[in-house]
Amino acid sequence: MTGALKLDRIDINILAQLQQNARLTNVGLADAVGLSPSPCLTRLRRLEEAGYIVGYNARIQLMKLADHITVFTEVTLTDHRREDFIKFEAEMRRYEALQECHLISGGYDYLLKFVIRNVAKYQELMERILERNIGVEKYFSYIVIKTTIDKGNVPIKYLIES
Q: Check pLDDT > 90 for residue 4.
A: no
Residues constituting the chain: 162
Domain shared by 49 and 67, yes or no: no
Predicted pLDDT at 78: 97
Q: For residue 68, count other CB atoms closer than 10 A to its CB.
A: 15
Model pTM score: 0.84
Nearest to 51, CA basis, from 101, 5, 102, 14: 5
Domain assignment of residue 115, given as a range: 62-143
Q: For residue 69, count other CB atoms closer than 10 A to its CB.
A: 15
Q: What is the pLDDT of residues 122-158, one digit of tens each?
A: 999 999 999 999 999 999 999 999 999 998 888 888 8
Q: What is the pLDDT of residues 70-115, one digit of tens each?
A: 999 999 999 999 999 999 999 999 999 999 999 999 999 999 999 9
- pLDDT-based confidence at 3, cuts 50/70/90? low
Q: Is 135 left (phi over 0), alpha (psi -120 to 50) or beta?
A: left
Task: Write the CATH number for 66.
Answer: 3.30.70.920
Domain shared by 94 and 130, yes or no: yes
Task: Write the CATH number for 14.
Answer: 1.10.10.10
Alpha-carbon distance of 25 to 17, in angstroms, equals: 11
The answer to whether residue 68 sits within a structural domain is yes
Q: Check pLDDT > 60 for residue 10.
A: yes
Contact (CB, 8 A) for 14 and 29: yes
Residue 41, phi then psi, degrees to nearest 5: -65, -40
Q: Check pLDDT > 60 for residue 2.
A: no
Domain count, the chain: 2
- pLDDT-based confidence at 1, cuts 50/70/90? very low
Q: For residue 75, count other CB atoms closer than 10 A to its CB.
A: 23
Strand 69-77 relative to strand 110-116: parallel, antiparallel, unpaired?
Answer: antiparallel
Q: Between 43 and 151, whose confidence is greater? A: 43
Domain shared by 68 and 104, yes or no: yes
Predicted pLDDT at 162: 61
Beta bridge partners of 71: 114, 143
